[in-house]
Amino acid sequence: DSGVTQTPKHLITATGQRVTLRCSPRSGDLSVYWYQQSLDQGLQFLIQYYNGEERAKGNILERFSAQQFPDLHSELNLSSLELGDSALYFCASSQGGQETQYFGPGTRLLVL
């Protein structure tokens, strides 16, 4: 158990819909990261937040957005969902920047 929690574990929805994935970092960690893992793309970095502020952006689509709240939990919002958005979405946290990232169990999203 990494100490990072993600909800929900599984999510099934339809194309065009919007979903919100939630992540609670380890106690004391200020940074939260979001990754997407699909069969054909591997593990892709999406975005990083540090103490409430966006710090790094990866291959995140404009239909996706994220935020980190004052209590440091984070939410990843996926809208206008497409079949290709079906993937595992992982959240990770670390104390600051360079330290080890601890990954959560992931949310498996299936878009039908």
Residue ranges that bind another protein, judged by CB under 8 A: 2, 4, 30-31, 33, 35, 42-45, 48, 50-51, 53, 55-56, 58, 88, 90, 92, 94, 96-106, 108
Query: Please, which residue, 50 or 64, has the CB nearer to another protein?
Result: 50
Q: What's the min distance (Å) between Cβ of 7 and another protein? A: 14
Q: What's the min distance (Å) between Cβ of 19 and another protein? A: 19
Query: Please, which residue, 9 or 71, has the CB nearer to another protein?
Result: 9
Query: Please, which residue, 82 or 99, has the CB nearer to another protein?
Result: 99
104-107: Cβ within 8 A, 24+ apart: 104/2, 104/4, 104/5, 104/6, 104/23, 105/4, 105/5, 105/6, 105/9, 106/6, 106/9, 106/37, 107/6, 107/7, 107/8, 107/9, 107/10, 107/11, 107/21
